[in-house]
Amino acid sequence: MRNKQVIFRDFLAKGAFPKESDMEVTESTVDVTRAVAEGSKGVLVKNLYLSCDPYMRGGMRKLTDPAESYAASFQPGSPVTGFGVARVLESGHRKFEKGDLVWGLTGWEEYSLLPAPETCFKIEHTDVPLSYYTGLLGMPGLRAYAGFFELCSPKKGETVFISAASGAVGQLAGQFAKLFGCYVVGSAGSKEKVDLLKNKLGFDEAFNYKEESNLDAALKRYFPEGIDIYFENVGGKDYNLEQPKGVPNLIQISMKEVRMEGFSVLDYYHLYLKFLNMVLPQIKEGRIVYVEDTFKGLENGPAALVGLFSNCDVGKQVILVSRE
């Protein structure tokens, strides 16, 4: 059977901005009935939704030191890899059987052979949009949950600032903080996103950082008594710049007794079921909403991924490959 694929062409030069032409949509073939070899513990899946996430920028860079990035490099000439929702067509793994829905790491193609599917989660709850398992109910959701509740040690009434607040993680971190009883302000890069934050996602305040000539003044305006928690979703301009801009006031870490902590969501997978039990009722009762920006068709994958780095995205970027 034909297998449309989004192929990663070659590593980007240091400091280069990702372009659609760094990827290529081609076609290969797959024998869907005999893809899983005798004795293999792999599964063959049909990909339904694919996720665009900022960490994927790291996969486009040739690494000399594997410790340099948490994202394994993409393979030039092979499909882009990332999180997705898929249906099992054939299984050599006892945890999965034909027809199961799963989410986890997969390839940007119609059909993927996953040699080590045990890192995928089986999807048990299908009374919510399946695409949510790339975002709200997937890795970004768990990242927002673990980041806010496990790392930020929030207290009711604390003030919370969230950057990239309309993104896949930010919109959830903000809603979690609001439900917890915090005062929440978000920043984003367009009027449309700011409206979304204030009118749909329930943030107390939001502002367009591009319209603020003095960001310090903007933060003072919204936080006259300071910020207790800053949930950082941007990584500065570091993702794409060759010479990242330095942070000049790091001594404030000492002056203001700040704790700054980076984390990998992989260390919090054990909390996934706890997270799901908390968040599913909130979704059904309408107390948590989620904004997605869906790109229909695998051939629009490159545009969706590039859009993530050019501030065109609103909400979670998802690629719809197939509805079933």
Query: Which residues is 172 bridged to in the sheet?
Result: none
> Around Cβ 218, how many Cβ atoms within 10 Å?
17
Stretch that binds a second copy, among 109-117, 195-203, 254-262, 296-304 (CB under 8 A): 254-262
Q: State the nearest-atom distance from the C-beta of 68 to a second copy, in Å.
A: 7
Spatial distance between the Cα atoms of 261 and 301, rounded to a whole number of angstroms = 32
Of 67, 124, 126, 127, the residue at the interface with a second copy (CB under 8 A) is 67
Q: Is 29 in the site for a second copy (CB under 8 A)?
A: no
Dihedral, CA of residue 193, residue 196, residue 201 and residue 202, to nearest 10? 110
Of 236, 273, 274, 296, the residue at the interface with a second copy (CB under 8 A) is 236
**Eight-state DSSP code of residue 54:** G
Tell which residue, 103, 5, 114, has the closest CA to residue 48.
Answer: 103
Q: Is 72 in the site for a second copy (CB under 8 A)?
A: no
Spatial distance between the Cα atoms of 172 and 194, rounded to a whole number of angstroms = 15
Spatial distance between the Cα atoms of 171 and 196, rounded to a whole number of angstroms = 10
Q: 229: helix, coil or strand?
A: strand
Of 34, 258, 273, 287, the residue at the interface with a second copy (CB under 8 A) is 258
Of 24, 27, 68, 211, the residue at the interface with a second copy (CB under 8 A) is 68
Of 262, 285, 323, 324, the residue at the interface with a second copy (CB under 8 A) is 262
Query: Which residues is 295 bridged to in the sheet?
Result: 319
Mask 119-138, x = binds a second copy (CB under 8 A)? --------------------
Q: State the nearest-atom distance from the C-beta of 135 to a second copy, in Å.
A: 19
| Type of residue numbered 186 | G
Tell which residue, 142, 155, 133, has the closest CA to residue 275.
Answer: 142
> Around Cβ 198, how many Cβ atoms within 10 Å?
15
Of 259, 277, 285, 286, the residue at the interface with a second copy (CB under 8 A) is 259
Q: Which residues contact 291 (CB under 8 A, 6 or more apart)?
A: 166, 171, 196, 200, 201, 314, 315, 316
Q: Is 286 in the site for a second copy (CB under 8 A)?
A: no
Of 10, 27, 192, 238, the residue at the interface with a second copy (CB under 8 A) is 238
Stretch that binds a second copy, among 67-75, 156-164, 184-192, 302-310 (CB under 8 A): 67-75
Q: Positive or negative, the Cα torsion across 243, 249, 254, 260?
A: negative
Tell me whether residue 126 or residue 249 sits nearer to a second copy (CB atom): 249
Q: Is 256 in the site for a second copy (CB under 8 A)?
A: yes
Of 124, 261, 285, 324, the residue at the interface with a second copy (CB under 8 A) is 261
Q: State the nearest-atom distance from the C-beta of 243 to a second copy, in Å.
A: 7
Q: Is 1 in the site for a second copy (CB under 8 A)?
A: no
Q: State the nearest-atom distance from the C-beta of 232 to a second copy, in Å.
A: 8
Spatial distance between the Cα atoms of 82 and 100, rounded to a whole number of angstroms = 19
Tell me whether residue 154 or residue 301 sits nearer to a second copy (CB atom): 154
Q: State the nearest-atom distance from the C-beta of 137 to a second copy, in Å.
A: 23
Under the rule (CB under 8 A), what is the footprint of a second copy?
67-70, 226, 232, 235-236, 238-239, 243-264, 267
